[in-house]
Amino acid sequence: MKKSKESTIPLKTKKVFGEFHIENFETDPCVFWYKHENIAAIELKEKNQFQWGLERIYFDVSLTDMEKLKDCFLKITEKDQIPVSFKYLDIEKTNHLRLKDENEITRFVANFASTKDAKKFYQALFKLEDYQTIKPDRNLDYDGYQLDAVAHYASGFRDARKLVKYIIENAIQTPNGSYSINFDGSSEKIILPENYQSLLNQYNQVFGVKETWEKTEV
């Protein structure tokens, strides 16, 4: 997964940061979301400078705190001029069985154009008194860098990170240089050396996010 470059499009006015396109949609069966995307993020996306899923912060908030977190987002984006696209669960439409903790469903995730934007946003968010009152009610592993009790910085999608992690940590090298692995007791899968190297590069990037975050200057 290639890291995004810092955006270079000149964004004209604060209005593009404070105005949001809002959607309500279904992903998995009976799982519904609200998605907020400001005009700045849409403009960058049209220029291939904003990629959903590449630079993200997950927020493991309680179901009752998601609207409060959304309001925190709306306070920051225009003031600090940050392109952002975020989604959170619509708990009214989503089947209550899908909301049980054992399903480990993502509740709230924000996407940014760059690590710098993500860090700038988080630093502003962390200062808000309303954000300080938000507490987690579970402890879900996002395979990222945990910024506080609620926020987790990560690169890429959760399922992809888990798959890459599983392969790199469980594949066994064979005498001919390829790699062998089993998925859930299924038949053996063979990974060619060049494909394994690509996965290893992804692994090093995905699980090197702590270093990426800490060395990024805002």
57-61, 74-78, 174-178: which is most confident: 57-61
Average pLDDT estimate for 64-73: 96
How far apart, in Å, are the Cα atoms of 129 and each of 68, 72, 86, 124, 133?
11, 9, 21, 11, 7
Query: What domains, with CATH codes, occur in the chain?
Result: 15-156 (3.30.2430.10)
Confidence check: pLDDT of 2 > 70: no
Q: Do the beta carbons of residue 104 and residue 140 sit within 8 Å?
A: yes
Residue 161 has a pLDDT of: 82
Per residue in 39-62, pLDDT (tens digit) is 999 999 999 999 998 899 999 999
Residue 199 predicted with pLDDT over 90: no
First to last CA, the chain: 23
Name the average pLDDT for the chain.
89
pTM: 0.82
Q: What pLDDT, on the 0 to 100 scale, is given for residue 13?
A: 60
Q: How far apart are CA 109 and CA 151, in angstroms?
A: 9
Check if the beta carbon of residue 112 is closer than 8 Å to that of residue 121: yes
pLDDT tens track for 28-37: 899 999 999 9
| Two tokens, residue 129 | 């008194």
pLDDT value at position 1?
42
What is the four-CA torsion angle of 200, 112, 216, 147, rounded to 10 degrees? Answer: -80
Count CA atoms closer than 13 A to 10's CA, side-chain side.
1
Match 């899908």 to its residue by tokens.
98
Helix, strand, coil in percent for the chain, rounding step 5: 40, 20, 40
Beta strands in 27-127 (DSSP E): 32-38, 55-59, 85-89, 108-112
Q: What is the pLDDT of residues 90-117, one digit of tens each?
A: 999 999 998 988 888 999 999 999 999 9
Higher-confidence position of 183 and 1: 183
Bridge partners of residue 85, in order along the sequence: 37, 111
C-alpha distances (whole Å) from 26 to each of 30, 93, 166, 214 are 7, 9, 28, 35
